[in-house]
Structure 1
Amino acid sequence: MHLLPAPLSLAQPAAAGAFALTPGTPLSAAPGAEGVTAWLRAELGAATGLPLLPAVAGDGAGDGSGIRLALDDALEAEGYRLTVDADGVRLDGGSAAGLFWGAQTLRQLLGADAYRRSPLRREDGEGWALPHVTVLDAPRFGWRGVLLDVARHFLPKADVLRYVDLLAAHKLNVLHLHLTDDQGWRVEIARYPRLTEVGSWRDRSMVGFRDGNRRDDRPHGGFYTQDDLREIVAYAAARQVTVVPEIDIPGHSQAAIAAYPELGNHDVVDTAQLRTFTDWGINPNVLNVEDATLRFYENVLTEVLEIFPSTFVHLGGDECPKEQWRASASAQARIKQEGLADEDELQSWFIRHFDRWLAARGRRLIGWDEILEGGLAAGAAVSSWRGYTGGIAAAQAGHDVVMCPEEHVYLDHRESGSPDEPVPVGYVRTLEDVYRFEPLPPELRQDAEAARHVIGTQANLWAEFMDDVRAVDYHAFPRLAAFAEVAWSDLPREPAARDYAGFAARMETHRARLDALGVEYRPADGPHPWQRRPGVLGRPNDATPEG
């Protein structure tokens, strides 16, 4: 039936049949299923034109002859059971999340037009039917994430909400919002208004990689108000997606330093002259380690926690050059005061401070694998991006890990070696390459205790070379669909044993769903002319990816 991601099991009766939806088909919710039922009624009602009203007692439809959603605590929390037969449709979930993922499967079974926002050629509601089938399903990983980098190139709120829907349609359940970086600060902080007044925009942007020496000389900016972010969080929660904010410290912080120069290493550089960074790449201007800077970010995070209820808060911790700290009398005094060995331990001290601060408020810190350097904070989790090595070490030490190695699931990387690829970056990662990505490397598959600490996996969409949502679509899809199957489905652990041909056949069907959703994905035979960026220099890596 070309479901994607593939379910754990699917069974059809020997005699094929279908349950037809009509203007009289009821859609009803048992206690606890009301929210998902309302979502399903709205989505399918818009696409089909059918009212799908609740069953009314005594009309003969309340005993299962329509579509009925219910909870079943015998199922896994995110698991579901979908049964379609001549009597109707029964969808049971272990929780509201399980029901929601089952509802997404039901939607797929109706065909690509079920993803449209208005009926096509079916004004009377006829022609909609679900095949007789029983689907039993549950995800492999609890964290099935996607990072959207809205700091390098801002995405308006409407585009973020659209991506929440796209994640949910693929049974992905974490939206990691990269909200701050050298090139932009995107979250309103009431206590520190200059973060958005100054830090949310830059006067120009690099076009392509720095060796091309091109600038667009066009101001770029934008930020989300706190109410915007509350709306995004609530919208996502209704679709079983958790929004994890990232406030990057102590590196990748020039936008904040431009707004508040006292945050930088002002005993080394004239931080008052710094502006929001206009280039890409690693930046030497990092936060200082003074008490006032700790208090500043505690105040920032206090407001962030009021907006985002997620258990995890991402604090970056990556790509923090130490040169300014080595030259800073203030930083060296801190190293001596705290009895630290070097600047690596100074960064660890900085991160551990906020690990304790978050833990005291019932939250957990997660950061990029550089936070392992100098000693990992006790309660911190690791996003393993520099290959598998950091994730393996963290898991073996008892720390939770989200596997997102750049060689495999950085979807800003190019999909082919063709010169037509727009701003070619990183490794060649084809649709098949992503489908054969395995989050658990052999070292962890042989260690059951460590493997339990791999709580999930994530694909990252870094936006230095993606300046609008059309470019994000091109890089994300269809590879994000392959990643979704890796994160959800019980695929063979050995990548070579996976049925890519079967996936590719299902992907042909899925492209019609993406068309209906308005996704401007990369065609199988290469980019459309308007998706190319001729003459814009990228940063290709021709090495063979590890793993």
Structure 2
Amino acid sequence: MDAVIPSPARHTVVAGGGDLPVAGPWRIHAPDGRLATVAGAVRALLEPHLGERLLPSGADDVAADADLALTLDLDLASPAPHRTPVGVSPQGLPEPMDESYRLTVADRGITCRAATPEGVFRAATTAVQLLTASAAGLAYQELTDAPHYAWRGLMVDPARGYLTPGELRRLVDLAALYKLNVLHLHLTDNEGWRLHVPSVPRLTACGNNGTAGEFYTTDDYRDLQRYAAERFVTVVPEIDLPGHCAALREAVPGLPAAPAPEGLADRFPFVPPLDLADPATHDIVAAILADVCRLTSGPYVHIGGDEAVGMTAESFALAIRELRALVEASGKRPLAWQESSRAGVTEDTVVQFWVDVAMMDLPDTEEELSHRPELLRAGLTLGLIKAMKTFFAPADHDVARVVEGGGRVLLSPQSHLYLDRAYATDVTPPDQTATAARLGFPTYRPRGVRHAAAWDPASHAIPDARIAGIEATLFGESVEGLDDATTLLLPRLASVAETAWTGRTPAWPDHRARLARHARIWQDRGLAYLASTEVPWP
């Protein structure tokens, strides 16, 4: 049975063709010098699974039972590359990247062919899955595939749940194995500032906004980007402004608050957003973003723009326009959460859709609230819930504004793609009950793996041409290390990756059977996961 996730567009088993043993030893064969870096990345991905069954680099004179051949073949160029990738043309517009590939299993091994190094690498990640998830031999077969969406991302949140550079590299590998190609780093928030900014070193001074030493040096950041690029993953940094700025305010005290709506002052606890009309604030933010853009090798810098509680609409729109302009002045493209659409939309605008009032799934009555133990435990009252609904009511119009303005939407709906959602108790195995109980954002209704897998991009009624891509998110309020992060991500991240690559919801009976065979992949890599009772694990 094919165990590949995402499932390929076309898969043909050669009738009567025989089986290829997987025991090895295996040799990576990449004679084309243009694939030297790809071969190195593929070797690193395979080593945890094959171990001594993988011959060392340069052992061409040692007998091998099978080759993993990496081949560039320009005849396989896709005639219609997918839309809205992370690459940018000289005009600043999206430029298609061809990730299509063909993989063949035959008597001498596995051959990965594509017109580009990206495509060869995507084929090789399929080969890694085949070799790892298959207990016996591989039937002679051919797979051909290409992605539906170009932006296939994972956001993690070291601002709240710090992950070491080494742990981030392991997440890059996980993303690459499932053909995700963006790692979005939520680097700043009220709880911490995790990227050293040379022009404002106070932001990561020892003891400031978090545990001393828990931040990324400029070398850490550059090294992570190089590592990710070798796996065709683009790192997108997020500097979340003008709200979520407590860490910045602690490091740079005295910055004035943005103008607040009449009657809001002192009604609710919130950190005052920044006023980008203030010269001192503008200068600090300009220096920060100039450094972040300079340190970032990819084309995008995320400016945040969400939940700016406590500022007027006019002040918020001014702040977003200034943040966009500062990023653009440094030669990068700004990306922001959906609220940023309220500052205007052009054809170059990309916003990240995460919420509307309906998907917040909040009760309307005391009776309904009494049946939501997670909300009661979090201390939510009906009055606070009504205030939240009022604040988020404008979100119901953000997507339509982007579509009408000719912009694009990056889909990250809280309802299904926020993987910091707790697992439902009825799908949690007994030996993981305690772990599952402490993980996840406290006010989200707990769900199972099937819930994430059932999400359909078409359910939001956004024209497909207006969808930039898909990104799963993992905010870090409950994350205390890599094991926590991967327990929340797995198995659900594989399901999101399936939809991001294929553009459609996977058929659950087939998908759950595929998921079951991926437990071995995660175990080989030392990654914790939630063994949901929805999946028939071996």
Shared fold (TM-score, shorter chain, > 0.5): yes
Aligned to 1:40: 42
The structural deviation recorded for 1:112 is 4.2
Unaligned runs of 5+ in 1: 114-126, 203-218, 269-280, 324-342, 527-547
Q: Distance in 1 between matches of 2:518 and 2:46?
A: 18
Q: Distance in 1 between matches of 2:204 and 2:132?
A: 44
* 1:468 correspondence with 2:469: no
The structural deviation recorded for 1:414 is 1.7
Q: Contact (CA 8 Å) 2:243, 2:307: kept in 1 or not? A: yes
**Which residue of the other structure, out of 308, 311, 329, is the alignment partner of 2:296?**
308
**Which residue of the other structure, out of 255, 275, 285, is the alignment partner of 1:288?**
275
Aligned to 1:173: 181
Q: Distance in 1 between matches of 2:28 and 2:244?
A: 53
Q: What is the SS of the residue equivalent to 2:424?
A: coil
Q: Contact (CA 8 Å) 2:417, 2:471: kept in 1 or not? A: yes
Aligned pairs for 1:228-377 (under 5 A) are 228-265=220-257, 283-289=270-276, 290-322=278-310, 343-376=312-345
**Which residue of the other structure, out of 425, 437, 445, is the alignment partner of 2:455?**
437
Q: How many positions carry a matched residue from both structures?
A: 453
Aligned pairs for 1:76-475 (under 5 A) are 76=78, 77-112=98-133, 130-197=138-205, 200-202=208-210, 222-265=214-257, 283-289=270-276, 290-322=278-310, 343-376=312-345, 379-387=348-356, 390-416=398-424, 420=433, 421-423=436-438, 424-441=442-459, 443-444=461-462, 447=463, 451-475=464-488
Deviates more, 1:43-52 or 1:226-235: 43-52
- The percentage of aligned residue pairs carrying the same residue is 31
Q: Distance in 1 between matches of 2:32 and 2:251?
A: 52
Q: What is the SS of the residue equivalent to 1:302?
A: helix
Q: Contact (CA 8 Å) 1:283, 1:321: kept in 2 or not? A: yes
Aligned to 1:124: none
* 1:506 correspondence with 2:521: no
More helix, by proportion: 2
The structural deviation recorded for 1:104 is 0.7
Q: Could you say what the CA RMSD is over the residues aligned between the two structures, in angstroms?
A: 3.0
Aligned to 1:543: none
**Given the superposition, is the C-alpha separation of residues 165 and 389 from structure 1 closer, same or farther in structure 2, using an over 3 Å criterion?**
farther
Aligned to 2:8: 7
Q: Contact (CA 8 Å) 2:345, 2:406: kept in 1 or not? A: no
Q: Contact (CA 8 Å) 2:161, 2:477: kept in 1 or not? A: yes
Q: What is the SS of the residue equivalent to 1:111?
A: helix
Q: Contact (CA 8 Å) 1:71, 1:99: kept in 2 or not? A: yes
Deviates more, 1:291-300 or 1:88-97: 88-97
Letter aligned with residue 311 of structure 1: P
Letter aligned with residue 432 of structure 1: R
The structural deviation recorded for 1:41 is 3.2
Q: What is the SS of the residue equivalent to 2:102?
A: strand
Q: Contact (CA 8 Å) 1:200, 1:223: kept in 2 or not? A: no
Q: What is the SS of the residue equivalent to 1:230?
A: helix
Q: Distance in 1 between matches of 2:118 and 2:466?
A: 22
Q: Distance in 2 between matches of 1:297 and 1:404?
A: 27
Q: Distance in 2 between matches of 1:429 and 1:70?
A: 43
Q: What is the SS of the residue equivalent to 1:224?
A: coil
Unaligned runs of 5+ in 2: 79-97, 261-267, 357-395
